[in-house]
Structure formats: C-alpha cells, structure tokens
Structure 1
Amino acid sequence: MSERSPAPGGLDLVQSLVNTLDIETGGDSLDTPQGRARFGLTEDEVPAVRELRESLRAALLAHAGHPPHRAVTPLGELLAGAPLVVTVDAADGSAALAPADAGPLLSRVAAAVAEALVAGTWTRLKACEAADCHWAYYDRSPAGRGRWCSMQVCGARAKMRRYRAKGA
C-alpha cells in the first residue's frame, strides 16, 4: 500500500474509494463512522458502495493488464444508474459532465470517470499488481507502464520473490 500522491481531478475520489479496503490487513474504513462520513454515506449504503468499490478495482486491474481478483458486477452496469448532465459555464462557454444529483456517491464517481475519459487520464489510474495489495495508484511513469503502487514496497517484494525463485 503506497502513500503516492493523489490522482488528478475527480480521479482522486475514485482512488480514495478503492483504497478504503486494505487487502493485506482486511481493514475497511467503510466500517467506521469516520470512513463513511468521508464519502457522505449512511451505514445502509455501505453494501452497494462496496460493490462499486470492487467493480472499480476490477477496472483498475484491467488498466494494469490484470484480471479481476474475483467476479464483480461490471462497472458499466453500476454507472448506468448514475445520470449525468452537461453543464455549460455562462462566463466562458466551457462544458462539462456533472452528476444530475450531486449527492449520491455513484453519481460523483460516474462524473469523475467521465471527466477522466475526456482528459485522457482514466487508464492511468491502476490497481497494484501485487495480489496482497491491489491498492489504487495513479501511474505517472512516462510510458504508463507502472505495475506497483510502490516500487519500494510491492515492487521490491516482487523482485525479491523472483530473485529467490531463480536461486532455488
């Protein structure tokens, strides 16, 4: 699990949501009132948000070229329930997609994904290759081929495992 800098724009919301679960320890910040408050959630909304989180994680694993770690509801099916509207700024005429209802987390995530698609940043948000991690990180490498959330932690562990396997 890395402490890399946050993803740009609305992708920070997606990254933060995916990283509410620490796979290595099993800790889930959505289990706490503070964790739920961070996203404006009630306890009743948590099961649906967990489903969204794991569908997002599967998409981020796909961005990194990896299959999902378990079967999930396709992200497109979940986001279809979040209507977006086109907003136009009266001052400069710029347009953007925004949630039709800014309250629900699903709508905010859909808007963040749409914004990232337009900006060309969506596929740079990835999930760590390490099976005991899958932490969301924004790949800032020039070629966009980052594999781990942290080279110092997950990358070093993977390289050490390969090294030890060669020596065996």
Structure 2
Amino acid sequence: MSERSPAPGGLELVEALVNTLLDIGTGADSLDTPQARARFGLTEDDLPAARELRESLRATLLAHAGHPPHRPVTPLAELLAAAPLVVAVDPADGSAALVPARDGTLVARVATAVAQALVAGTWSRLKACEAADCHWAYYDRSPAGRGRWCSMQVCGARAKMRRYRAKDT
C-alpha cells in the first residue's frame, strides 16, 4: 500500500517480509509464489514458520504504533531466540558486528536486522498501519515519530473521512 521509501538498513528485510501479505481481507499471500519464496530464501517447507514469524513481526509493529495485535501470535522474542547472535570482531580493523551464531536462515537474518536497528535506534520507527484492513509495515520518518498510517493519501484519508462522516450522524 505504501508509497514511502523502504526502511533503512536491515529493517528493509523486516518490512518486506511483513508486507508479503498482500490482502489482509482475502488472505492473498505473495509467499505462495516462487518469486517471493526465492527472495527470502524459503522452500515450501519453510512457509509455516515464515508466516508465523511474519505475523509475530506484524504484532510487534502494531505495538510500536500503539495498537493491539489483530490476532494472537507467538511472541517475537520466542521466535528470535531460535537464532542466537554473536559479536564478530574483525581482526584487521577491530570493527564489530552482530551476526547469526549458526546460520543464515530467515529468522537469523531478521534477528540480526532487529539487533542492528536496536543499536541504531531505528527499531521502534518500524510500524504497522493502524487501518484494520491494511496493517502494512512502514518506516515512520515523521519528526515526532507519531505516524499512524502507511499512506496518508489512502489509509489516513479514509480514516479522516470516516471520522468526519461520523460527526454528521
């Protein structure tokens, strides 16, 4: 839905994964396509876990925007615990980075992205649209960090129009 630019750094992966659910009303899911599975390095067997991760991320992004999850999900911390991170130090220049301890699975890549965003202070700016028929992930670039919709022109305008019409009744 969003016309916004992608989230910075590794959060682009998280945003892209959450936004694979194309239509929350019908449940159309781009993870059902070979192209989307290839983009995230998934096989057919990986899909249930990827969907669980996606919905847990969506619930967390709704919480970032001050909204409850739209359905019960596995807590994100529980899923990310399966992908422990370690600090890797480059002996040449002493730089350090968090990297997956074991593998490059989708969960490990998401855990790395979340950890890097926490360090950068950008994690809480990744949110899910408050519109009940959307919940699209977006990166809130507003100065105060209080964005509510993925698109002011679509979801925001609809919400404001509904509020306006409700005043007339």
Residue 142 of structure 2 corresponds to: 141
Write the deviation string for residues 121-167 of structure 1: whole angstroms up to 9, x where unpaired: 00000000000000000000000000000000000000000001001
State the shift of 1:89 in Å.
Answer: 2.3
Superposition map of 1:1-168 within 5 A? 1-22=1-22, 23-168=24-169
* Residue type of the alignment partner of 1:122: W
Q: SS at the partner of 2:148?
A: coil
Q: SS at the partner of 1:98?
A: strand
State the shift of 1:102 in Å.
Answer: 4.1
Q: Name the TM-score, length of structure 2 as normaliser.
A: 0.96
Larger mean Cα displacement after TM superposition, 19-28 or 74-83: 19-28
Which sections of structure 2, spanning at least 5 residues, go unmatched? none
Structure 2 distance, partners of 1:149, 1:51, is: 22
Structure 2 distance, partners of 1:15, 1:101, is: 23
**Moved beyond 4 Å, runs of 4+:** none
Write the deviation string for residues 48-68 of structure 1: whole angstroms up to 9, x where unpaired: 100000000000000000000
Q: Name the TM-score, length of structure 1 as normaliser.
A: 0.97
State the shift of 1:24 in Å.
Answer: 4.3
Write the deviation string for residues 67-123 of structure 1: whole angstroms up to 9, x where unpaired: 000000000000000021111123332211111234210000000000000000000
The alignment's C-alpha RMSD in Å is 1.0
Which sections of structure 1, spanning at least 5 residues, go unmatched? none
Q: SS at the partner of 1:85?
A: strand
